[in-house]
Chain A
Amino acid sequence: MMLRVAFTVLCLMMCPSLVAAQFKGEIVGQGGQKFPIAVSPLKNLNSGSDVARLSEGIADTMVHDLDLSGWFNVLDRSAYIENPQNSGITLGTFDFKNWSTIGAEGVVKGGFSVQGDEVTVELRLFDVYQNKERIGKRYVGKVKDYRRIAHKFVDEIINQFTGVPGIFNTRIAYVSTSGGRFKEIYVSHLDGSEKFQVTNNRTINLSPSWTPDGRSILYSSFKDRVQTLFLFELYSGREVKFPPRSGHYIGGKVSPDGQSVAASMEVAGNTNLFLLDRSGNVIRRLTDDRGIEVSPSWSPDGRQLVFVSDRSGSPQLYILDLASGKTRRLTYSGSYNTSPEWSPKGDKIVYTGRVGSRFAIFTISVDGGDPRKLTSEASDSEDPTWAPDGRFIAFSSNRAGRYQLYMMQAGGDNQRRLTGSGGDDTKPSWSPRLD
């Protein structure tokens, strides 16, 4: 089983002199004004009929992404004046008034031409106020992968507005019971497209996480009866099983340099953290406590781990400095704090905390200050994971019945559902940025 990525994108800068955003509306994150943008259906640039419905499919994908970001007010397509098949897609070949009239301050226009199973897509972002082109890109890929082209261009748009690329050309690995009573691991884009089933062993598979190169998934599984760790390479289908030990592996995370794994292993009822190499050989033991030490997450510099310990009598977050071996407690409020993940910027930890009888997502500074609850305790929200830019968090929640995946801005705004499978979708892990 392998993930097929026979997809290449040729990315041509068409206006390399362009630098800073000159748009009237500034995107400043939460609380900021949403930027009014229009996304035109694409123009079919050759004579064949649009059998794959790329014109609207690529536009729809961009609209979905822009909306998920929470930074844009995407104007409704029914209000658009221009016929995309009759108007030009380059500066000077269409009338900006058709866009300013409906309130758009930016407009995305583009065209595509299909040859066999390949498509060439040109996309441009125009500044309606200044009548200027801001981004122009050409992509070549397989027709079936057209959504990825749209994701990549939205990441460019977000870069234009915020100075940091977006995170829509990424994937989420997660656990789902959608296939029945078993827990299997899947990978898909944020919009649910290109869903790929990583495991299919009809047991319990848990805790997927990405290697920093975005090529492999580390996960735990009961597929060989006792729980152990597996490292699955998505593109080749190769899998490494960590060697059996006297104890049971519970979970693990690959280090930022990709060379080692922090893993939790249970021996005689006590679960401790161990440092392993990528093949699962123990380098050294990291904790030696009676009790529970689980869910390690690396600091971006690879020097520290945040993890869960019950040494105080209830699960709380602690930070271990790997060089000194010193540990400090991070969380003091609440009686149940688990599933930490260190932010890509390094300044915050996101985690699950119990509030009354419910679970909510919190962030806290690495110095223990500024704890913030980001989700409502009207339902349960768990298993947070950072986007690679540190500006978004994905998590699982039962707010609409069964557990599904959601994303929100890192301050808690714009909480949006990502999945709608028939089962429970849990344990999301957000990939690094992908090519």
Chain B
Amino acid sequence: MTNSFRAVCYASLAALCLMAVGCAPATPNKPDMSSPSSSGSAGSQGSAAGEGQRGGTRESTTGSSSLKELQEGKSTATPASSPLKDIFFDFDRADLRGDARDTLRANAAWLKSNPSARVEIEGHCDERGTNEYNLALGAKRAQSAKDYLVSLGIGGERLSTISYGEEIPVCREHAESCWHQNRRARFVVISGRPAS
């Protein structure tokens, strides 16, 4: 990450964290008939991805890696204004739902218009099940996202993957309303200044 981009990240992060927490639940759900998901509200990410494309024209940040956010005591939720949106998965699944493919197409479009950006794809899981299995499952999820982005023409050398399993959730309630938010892949720009 360049220093200038890092500065942009940090300057906007505090406000964005609040926005991310405050705005996400208020995002209206778009019914997504193509999604096989039983956890419908995750489908809202498909509509949010459209903003992500337009987001390339204003100051934007994907936030830092979840581990870094955890260490700094910050929210590990992706900032609401991030041009790269999270995708979501069904329980114990790593295959891409329809809404996830929609989001990935939008993320791919942003990556094409920001060719210097390199992205680390984080795979995450909900708290249920065994830590080690979930670390492996998170890796599968991150790889699913990477493979699809590569199939859309993004160079694989720009995309790295890491799994945090169930270890760095965005919420900690013991209910499906929280769990589906944690079954995600997250996209963090690790180098290359976003276009502005």
A-to-B contact residues, CB < 8 Å? 181-183, 202-204, 206-207, 222, 225-227, 248, 250-251, 264, 266, 268-271, 291-295, 308, 310, 314-315, 336, 338-339, 352, 354, 359, 382-383, 426-427
Contact = CB atoms under 8 A, between A and B. Distances in A.
Contact of A202 (B71, B132, B167): B71
Contacts of B70: 181-182, 203-204
7 contacts: A203-B70, A206-B135, A207-B132, A250-B136, A266-B163, A291-B140, A427-B131
A292 B140 contact: yes
A292 B94 CA distance: 11
B133 interface: yes
Contacts of A251: 132, 135
Given A248-B162, A359-B128, A266 B136 contact: yes
Contacts of A225: 65, 67
Contacts of A206: 131-132, 135, 167
A269 B167 contact: no
B142 interface: yes
Contacts, number: 98
Interface in B68-87: 70-71, 73
Contacts of B92: 314-315, 336
B169 to A, nearest CB: 11
Nearest to A222: B67
Contacts of B135: 206, 227, 250-251, 266, 271, 294
**In the complex, which of the residues B71, B135, B139 has the most CB atoms of chain A within 10 Å of its own CB atom?**
B135
**In the complex, which of the residues A207, A250, A336, A352 has the most CB atoms of chain B within 10 Å of its own CB atom?**
A250
B161 interface: yes
A15 B45 CA distance: 75
A181 to B, nearest CB: 6
Interface of B: 65, 67, 70-71, 73, 92, 94, 128-133, 135-137, 139-140, 142-144, 146-147, 161-164, 167-168
Contacts of B147: 269
Given A308-B130, A427-B131, A248 B167 contact: no
Q: What secondary structure prevails in chain A residues at the interface with B?
A: strand
Given A181-B70, A338-B129, A226 B136 contact: no
Contacts of A310: 133
A363 to B, nearest CB: 17
Contacts of B129: 315, 336, 338, 354, 359
A84 B70 CA distance: 55
Given A181-B73, A295-B132, A248 B139 contact: yes
Contacts of A266: 135-136, 139, 163
**In the complex, which of the residues B65, B70, B146 has the most CB atoms of chain A within 10 Å of its own CB atom?**
B70
**In the complex, which of the residues B65, B136, B144, B164 has the most CB atoms of chain A within 10 Å of its own CB atom?**
B136
Contact of B67 (A204, A352, A354, A427): A204
Contact of A271 (B139, B167, B168): B139
Contact of A315 (B65, B73, B133, B146): B133
Given A183-B167, A248-B163, A294-B132, 16 more contacts: A203-B70, A203-B71, A204-B164, A204-B167, A206-B131, A222-B164, A225-B65, A251-B135, A266-B135, A269-B139, A270-B140, A293-B136, A310-B133, A314-B92, A352-B130, A427-B131
Contacts of A293: 136
A393 to B, nearest CB: 16
A264 B167 contact: no
**In the complex, which of the residues B73, B139, B146, B163 has the most CB atoms of chain A within 10 Å of its own CB atom?**
B139
Contacts of A354: 128-129
